[in-house]
Structure 1
Amino acid sequence: MTFQLYGNLGSGNVLKVKYLADALGLPFTLHEIASRSGATQTPEFLKLNPAGQMPVVVLEDGRPLAQSNAILRYFAQGTRFLPNNRYEAAKVDEWLFWEQYSHEPTVAVARARVVYDGQKVSELDPSLVARANKALDLMEGALAGRSFLVGDSLTIADIALLAYTRQAPQAGFDLSTRPAILQWIAGCENELGLPAHTAENRGIGHG
């Protein structure tokens, strides 16, 4: 199975798809879309995803699929990354929904304002920062005494939350005070063959 991936690897939502594809050995062609370029609003892109958001994948048979976590669920079916147990599979979904509702709109948005808009960390909306910290604290509590979010092995719940959590320091969020998250990140990196998360955060000015 091969597929086409439309998106920018600076986006955590795109990175999650890459992480899973690489882990499963699924070959794909990346069609790079520059952030804030307007390329997701072209007629050609809107045919793939009328919402005008990346990532989008185009499957081998030509069918498009959007929404990063839906893409993860599609590729994870029948693999070790999505539990067969009905309850554990639902717990994975619980984290996927939470990630898009509470984590991505806070942690990722704060990062985007710093990385793409050039806003200083000190100038970020305090309510946004507070909600992002609340999301990270919830993860810290959930991961205390655990290696992964669901069950005893890495699932797409972990993959979905990994990208933007690794990038959180780029928005000034201090992960050094969250040892369970740091241990979880290291475990995920080991499973997925990724470099240490600090490498992704070098050179970002916090202002």
Structure 2
Amino acid sequence: MILHDFLESGNGYKVRLLLHWLQQPFTLVEHDILKGATRTPEFLSSKNPNGRIPALELDDDPVSPGPVLWESNAILNYLAEGTPYLPTDRLARARVLQWQFFEQYSHEPYIAVARFMRHFQDMTPERTALLETEKLPKGYVALNVMEKHLSQNDWFVGTGPTIADISLFAYTHVAPEGGFDLTRTPAILSWIARMEALPHHVAITSRATP
């Protein structure tokens, strides 16, 4: 497998982390999204027409390349099929999807975007105002939903880690880089510690492969 990625990306990190959990060998190909590397005609035509990472080539044969899968949560579901990280029970699988949709619509647009703004952009007065009036308040709403759940559960679905946890961990554990104070959410901090203590854990900027 070939993973097209940008190391600072939480979405790319989701895939890398699961590949490490599974001990699945892969080749990492980095693209500098800040310089438009995923917007080239070649990338758009052969990797992802939406011009984003991660994109996972499912076969590393240079002569007859396999299909390319994009969108981080779709990749997680593909890779986790048949593993303990994606339940077979119908309702439990729906719960995994529930949290993944929550991550994409109620979590990532605020927590991940706040991090991108502070981490990669110049904080103009307009961006500062957007951060303070929208990104931080709505991000805390999402964190509070997670906090309520984790105050009564160790994991998001069932009694062990699933790809629902990976989907939410990726940007939550670096939320302080976007200005979020996680000391307000002690259950989230305990969950982060549990995630980081799992076998084969790797940091978001690690280039290691299994």
TM over 0.5: yes
1:173-196: per-residue Cα shift (whole Å, max 9, x none)?
A: 011111110011111111244378
- Please tell me whether the aligned partners of residues 114 and 120 of structure 1 are also in contact (alpha carbons under 8 angstroms): no
Q: Counterpart of 1:54 in structure 2: which amino acid? A: I
1:70 and 2:69 matched? no
1:99-140: per-residue Cα shift (whole Å, max 9, x none)?
A: 111111110000000000032899224112111111111110
Cα distance in 2 for residues equivalent to 1:55 and 1:125: 29
Cα distance in 1 for residues equivalent to 2:52 and 2:30: 13
- Please tell me whether the aligned partners of residues 110 and 171 of structure 1 are also in contact (alpha carbons under 8 angstroms): yes
1:50-69 aligned at under 5 Å gives the runs 50-60=49-59, 62-69=66-73
- Please tell me whether the aligned partners of residues 5 and 28 of structure 1 are also in contact (alpha carbons under 8 angstroms): yes
Cα distance in 2 for residues equivalent to 1:181 and 1:37: 34
Report the counterpart of residue 14 of structure 1 in structure 2.
Answer: 12
Report the counterpart of residue 137 of structure 1 in structure 2.
Answer: 144
The secondary structure found in structure 2 opposite 1:149 is coil
Distance 1:29 1:102, change over 3 A: same
Cα distance in 1 for residues equivalent to 2:183 and 2:40: 41
Cα distance in 2 for residues equivalent to 1:57 and 1:195: 19
Report the counterpart of residue 79 of structure 1 in structure 2.
Answer: 83
- Please tell me whether the aligned partners of residues 21 and 201 of structure 2 are also in contact (alpha carbons under 8 angstroms): no
Q: What is the aligned counterpart of 1:38 among 32, 36, 39?
A: 36
Give 5+ residue unaligned stretches, structure 1. Answer: 201-207
CA-atom RMSD in angstroms: 2.1
1:26 and 2:33 matched? no
Report the counterpart of residue 204 of structure 1 in structure 2.
Answer: none
Report the counterpart of residue 203 of structure 1 in structure 2.
Answer: none
- Please tell me whether the aligned partners of residues 186 and 196 of structure 1 are also in contact (alpha carbons under 8 angstroms): no
1:140-159 aligned at under 5 Å gives the runs 140-159=147-166
Q: What is the aligned counterpart of 1:94 among 95, 98, 103?
A: 98
- Please tell me whether the aligned partners of residues 85 and 161 of structure 2 are also in contact (alpha carbons under 8 angstroms): yes
The secondary structure found in structure 1 opposite 2:56 is strand
Report the counterpart of residue 184 of structure 1 in structure 2.
Answer: 191
1:56-82: per-residue Cα shift (whole Å, max 9, x none)?
A: 010015110000000000000000000
Question: Larger RCO: Structure 1 or Structure 2 (Cα < 8 Å, ≥ 6 residues apart)?
Answer: 2
Cα distance in 1 for residues equivalent to 2:166 and 2:33: 22
Cα distance in 1 for residues equivalent to 2:145 and 2:199: 23
Q: Output the TM-score relative to the length of structure 1.
A: 0.89
The secondary structure found in structure 1 opposite 2:28 is strand
- Give me the identity figure in percent: 45
Cα distance in 2 for residues equivalent to 1:42 and 1:192: 37
- Please tell me whether the aligned partners of residues 19 and 192 of structure 1 are also in contact (alpha carbons under 8 angstroms): no
